[in-house]
């Protein structure tokens, strides 16, 4: 089982940057593909970014591609989301999620994931 704890959220002006972190418990972190999702009030949870178990492949939602970068450090059991050129529409609670797999496939549905963090709030002011 994996427990996930996000950090790094906050209030930032449009055009600014934030880096989110997701720390995972357990000794098998490297066997999990990881994803970032976000949920704004009144909206469904949506996919933001994903990264394979070894970090060799990343993929993004069209709305964030070129602005956000996912990475991971398996030695530190941590996955990151670097967010640049933030926009007010990026405001949401951001969650990380873990899927037990060694596949290099892409996983964009919340139903694909086994474990979730509680989330961290990101607010972008205009």
Residue-wise pLDDT tens digits, 21-43: 999 997 788 889 999 999 999 99
Distance CA 63, CA 87 (A): 10
5-25 tens-digit pLDDT:
999 999 999 999 999 999 999
Question: What's the Cα-to-Cα distance from 24 to each of 53, 59, 71, 113, rounded to whole Å?
Answer: 13, 20, 14, 14
For 55-85, write each residue's pLDDT tens digit. Answer: 889 999 999 999 999 999 999 999 999 999 9
Phi, psi angles (nearest 5°) of residue 16: -85, -175
């Amino acid at each position: 089982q994996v427990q996930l704890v996000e950090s790094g959220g906050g209030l930032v002006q449009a055009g600014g940057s934030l880096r989110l972190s997701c720390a995972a418990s357990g000794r098998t972190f490297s066997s999990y593909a990881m994803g970032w999702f976000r949920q704004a009030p009144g909206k469904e949870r949506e996919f933001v970014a994903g990264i394979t178990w070894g970090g060799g492949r990343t993929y993004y939602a069209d709305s964030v591609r070129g602005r956000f970068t996912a990475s991971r450090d398996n030695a530190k059991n941590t996955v990151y989301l670097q967010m640049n050129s933030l926009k007010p529409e990026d405001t949401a609670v951001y969650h990380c999620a873990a899927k037990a797999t060694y596949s290099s496939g892409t996983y964009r549905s919340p139903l694909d994931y086994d474990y979730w963090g509680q989330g961290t709030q990101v607010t972008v002011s205009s």
